[in-house]
Every structure is written in C-alpha cells, then in structure tokens.
Amino acid sequence: MAPSRVKKLNVPVHDASTTIGATSVPTTTASFESLDVAPWLVRSLTAMAIQHPTEIQKACIPEILKGRDCIGGSKTGTGKTVAFAVPILQKWAEDPFGIYAVVLTPTRELALQIFEQFQALGAPQSLKTVLVTGGSEMRPQALALAQRPHIVVATPGRLADHVMNSGKETTVGLSRAKVVVLDEADRLLSSGAGSMLPDLNTCLSALPPSSQRLTLLFTATVTPEVRALKELPRPKDRPPIFISEIADPHHSPTGTTLVPRTLSMTYLQAPMTHKDAFLHVLLTVPSFTKEPLPSIMIFTNRTKTADILHRTLIQLGHPATSLHSELPQSQRNRNLAEFRAQKSRILIATDVASRGLDIPDVQFVINYDVPRDPTDYVHRVGRTARAGRKGTAITFVGQRDIQLVLAIEDYVGSKMVEWQEEGVNVETRVVRGRTLKDVGEARMEALRNIEGGKDVNGWRRKIKKDRKKFIEKEMSGYDG
C-alpha cells in the first residue's frame, strides 16, 4: 500500500481575482505559464477572463499533468472545473483520438455548466464534447457517443441507461477512456436513500479499471467516504494519490466551522400551516425590497413543495422562478438563466441547486424546509456569503424541527440566531389585515392550476396520477 501525501493548504489569498462565469474568485499571483500550461490553453483562459490560477488550480494542475490521481477539496465557486479541465485538455491535445475523458456529476445543471467550460476551453483545438443527461432524448445521445467524442460529460443515471440499453457499439469507446472525473464526489459516493452508487458502478463497469486510467475526484466537502479512497491498495508503478484540501480564508481561523465568517446564520419561527404567509411577508420587508434588489434562493425538501410554492408566489406578485426535477430540462435551463440575469430575482429550488452551480451574488438563502441532512444545509447556505461577501441564511423552524436544527448547529460548529430587522415583526404582519386570506387564496389557485394540468404560464399539460392524489390531499387539508 503506497503512502499518500496529503497537502493541506491554508495560504493567504492575494488581491488578484479572476472571473469564473459571473463570479469573482480570489486567485494567487502565480501564472498559468508557471504551471506548465500549454500556450493555447493560456490563450483560451485569457479569453474567458481567467488570468491567474486559484489555489485549487495552482495545487492540482501540475500534479494531474504528472499523471497522479487526485482528490481536490475546495469550496464552491473556486474554479474546480478549470482545475481538472485544463490538464485533461492539455494531455488530450497530445493525442486527440477517441473518448479521452468521462466526467460524471450529480445534476443536469452541473453537467451543462461543465460541458460549456470544456467547450470554451477546447474551442481552438476543435474539441468534440457530448452532454449525456436526463431530460433529453436518448437516441441523439447514443449517436453522439457512437461517434467517439473526445470528452463525455454525464449524469450517472443517464450514462448508466446507455451502458445497459444502447448497445456495445454505442458505449465501446468508453472502455478506452484515459481519465475519469467524479465531480461533487461526496454526493456521487454517498450511500443511503437516493444513492447514486448503483448507477455510478454501472458507469464504471464500462470504463477501464482504475489501474489503467487517471481518476480525479473533486468536491466542496471532503467526506470520510472520499478521504478513505486514499487508503486503497495501489499498483507499485503508480504514484501516490495527490490530495489537496484548500482552506477557505473567509472561514473561521480556528477551522471549527463549515460556513463562512461573513454568513449570518438565522432562524425564523413559523407554524407549519402558515409558512407561505410568513414567507410572503418576509419577502416584502425593507431588507428584501430596497435597491439594489437582492437575489434570493428558497430551498424546499420536496419537488412538489417547490412547484406549489413557486405558483403561490407568482399569484402573490413575486418575481419568482423555480428549479426542480419535474421541470423539462429546457425549462430548467431557461429558469436558471432568468435567475442569473436577475429577470427573476427569486429562485425556489430543491437541493438540485445547492451544489456547484455558477450563480451570481446571492444575498439571501431561505430554508423553507429544514434540510434533513446537515451537509445539505452547508451546501444550501454556500450559495451566499461567497468570496468574502456578506450573506444571510434564514431557516424556517417549526416545533418539529428543533432536533434537525440542533444537528445542523452541531455539524457546522456555529449557532443560529433569531432573524430580526428593526421595526419588523413578521408574525404581527401575518395576522393583521388580509395577509392570511390573500395567501390562502393564492395557494388554492396554484393547486387548482396544477389539478387542471396547467403550467405556471397557464398552458395545459399532463400530470402524473400520484401527483394528482397529492394535490387533492393538499386542497382538502389546507386551512391557511
């Protein structure tokens, strides 16, 4: 068993910054040339306004170029995609034939984001990249896979479908891949309900064994499952795994908390039957409505809740959009683009939006539902307070949520405080006037539209039987 060298970096961040997507990310003063990045890739990076490497890029690019398996841990928004895409493309360009790399990631939106970055970086070399995710027809994807693209970016579920059902002639190219990337590796490797491990194992069965390929794992959260991989037996001719965990300079200097120092962790007591009304009032208080208008993300635990809440807020006049698994992929892409452009400044989402997405400055994260897994809380609130900016997380807490909140506080090493704003009493505003009546009517209208098979724009669409039963139950039991 070869020893693994663990390189933990806790270095000061310099004044330089680079732009990755729409987000300004602190960088080092190093150059990509000093990392032995090829000139054509340096030019591609410059065209993308990426001038200097971030810490995770500086640590990992040289080691991957040396042929070392790598585990890279760094918070969301620090350029992990570039950290593995640049060395992959540099080595691919030396022999650009067939499928060189397969990148697996848990969500369609993340896959699309990675796909676009590969396309932009590899444009000067006529790179062929294929996107393989759910929400799109399988036949065009099968044809694209059979044509031996250079890079495959996929979600495990859809790629596993192709491995099982699209025929050997479609997926045979996967067996010659030189590199496998697991992005958001902690999610891909987690067990339990909703685990992606069965699909992941199906995908890996079509790829070369680990001894014959490079394996790169990147994550914002280095979990025990990820860390344990460094202890696995390795062939004598393979160098030890390179591990880089980048400490966030905006986190507590003691390292005892998993959230940034610039994040305000708060809670708001809200009875379960009136959460919609509390949210409606909260969205109208001065800090949420003053110029410049803030971007807000609202997280729910269930897709159905996100859909109903989205429709309810639209009925109440809030500029909201949504992101969840029951939306067609084209609609998910449009909604995310609207939020990024601040055409809709409120995004209601399930945890599909909590990881890795390149979303511009978000001032508020609201947990409409308390996440049942504390790691999901970390990923949700990680959408705000990025790169040293201030942000606020507000968690709606009911009587049954106390144990969940205590578990979150214990996990992150920090306590929530009650949300307060001078001159504002949310409960008083909820119970006075027509607030409860207006919100109740808006919710019932939302439920009627869903029952009638209408989308948020009023167009008719089919709904699933189990979804209809849920709606009927909601309509008969709502007392708000």
Q: How confident is the model at residue 459 (pLDDT cuts 50, 70, 90)?
A: low
Per the CB < 8 A criterion, the answer to whether 154 and 131 are in contact is yes
- For the segment 389-398, the average pLDDT, to the nearest whole number, is 95
- Whether residue 223 lies inside any domain: the answer is yes
Looking at the fold, whether 353 and 285 belong to one and the same domain comes out as yes
Q: How confident is the model at residue 354 (pLDDT cuts 50, 70, 90)?
A: confident
Domain of residue 231 covers 5-246
Per the CB < 8 A criterion, the answer to whether 445 and 293 are in contact is no
Q: What is the per-residue pLDDT for 26?
A: 72
H helices within 72-207, ranges in order?
80-93, 108-122, 138-146, 156-165, 168-171, 185-189, 197-205
Looking at the fold, whether 201 and 302 belong to one and the same domain comes out as no
Instruction: Convert the pLDDT of each residue in 193-223 to its tens digit.
Output: 889 999 999 999 999 999 999 999 999 878 7
User: What CATH number has the domain bearing residue 135?
Assistant: 3.40.50.300
At 336, which helix (H) or strand (E)?
Answer: helix 329-340
Looking at the fold, whether 92 and 221 belong to one and the same domain comes out as yes
Backbone phi and psi for residue 324, each to the nearest 5 degrees, phi listed first: -160, 175
- Whether residue 252 lies inside any domain: the answer is no
Domain endpoint, select from 246, 278, 302: 246
What burial letters (b/e) apply to 34-43, b meaning 16+ CB within 10 Å? ebebbeebbe
- Whether residue 254 lies inside any domain: the answer is no
- Whether residue 257 lies inside any domain: the answer is no
Measured CA angle at 357 (ends 182, 327), to 5 deg: 100
Instruction: Convert the pLDDT of each residue in 463-472 to its tens digit.
Output: 555 555 555 5
- Whether residue 417 lies inside any domain: the answer is yes
Per the CB < 8 A criterion, the answer to whether 54 and 26 are in contact is yes
Q: How confident is the model at residue 124 (pLDDT cuts 50, 70, 90)?
A: very high
Looking at the fold, whether 53 and 88 belong to one and the same domain comes out as yes
- Whether residue 256 lies inside any domain: the answer is no
Cα distances from 228 to residues 201, 223, 233, in angstroms, run 17, 9, 11
- Whether residue 372 lies inside any domain: the answer is yes
Looking at the fold, whether 91 and 226 belong to one and the same domain comes out as yes
H helices within 259-318, ranges in order?
275-282, 286-289, 303-315
Q: How many domains does the chain have?
A: 2
Q: What is the per-residue pLDDT for 466?
A: 55
Looking at the fold, whether 427 and 470 belong to one and the same domain comes out as yes
- For the segment 132-138, the average pLDDT, to the nearest whole number, is 93
Q: Is the pLDDT of residue 289 over 90?
A: yes
